[in-house]
């Protein structure tokens, strides 16, 4: 089963787990099965149309899925899927916010 790495902000939905194994031969199926295992996680990753939110990056074996086949990206049993939310905040170079 592919291994899905869960970012800190989503771990409250996965019971604190940082990685989970989820069945699926394509990213779409993995996300659907992830939702079945952990209800509510998909709405944190995808919009109402089922597309990955613009501020969420998903990587398969280190390559961003937008550079692959998106949600149709094929997966194997040994693939690693990383969900990475964009970071925001901090200070400007001059020290002001």
* Domains annotated on the chain, with CATH: 3-85 (3.10.20.30)
CA-CA distances (angstroms) from residue 28 to 21, 45, 91, 94, 96?
Answer: 15, 12, 36, 43, 41
pLDDT on residue 95: 57
Consecutive 10-residue runs of the chain (97 residues): their mean pLDDT?
Answer: 95 95 96 96 93 94 96 96 81 59
Single out the residue of 9, 66, 4 nearest to residue 43, CA to CA: 9
* Whole-structure pTM value: 0.85
CB of 92 closer than 8 Å to CB of 62 = no
């Amino acid at each position: 089963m592919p291994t899905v790495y869960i970012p800190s902000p989503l771990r409250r939905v996965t019971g604190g787990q940082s990685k989970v194994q989820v069945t699926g031969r394509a990213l779409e199926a993995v996300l659907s099965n992830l939702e079945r295992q952990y209800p509510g996680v998909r709405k944190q990753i995808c919009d109402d149309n089922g597309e990955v939110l613009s501020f969420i990056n998903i990587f398969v074996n280190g390559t961003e899925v937008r550079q692959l086949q998106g949600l149709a990206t094929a997966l194997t049993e040994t693939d690693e899927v990383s969900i990475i939310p964009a970071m925001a905040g901090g200070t400007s170079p001059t020290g002001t916010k």
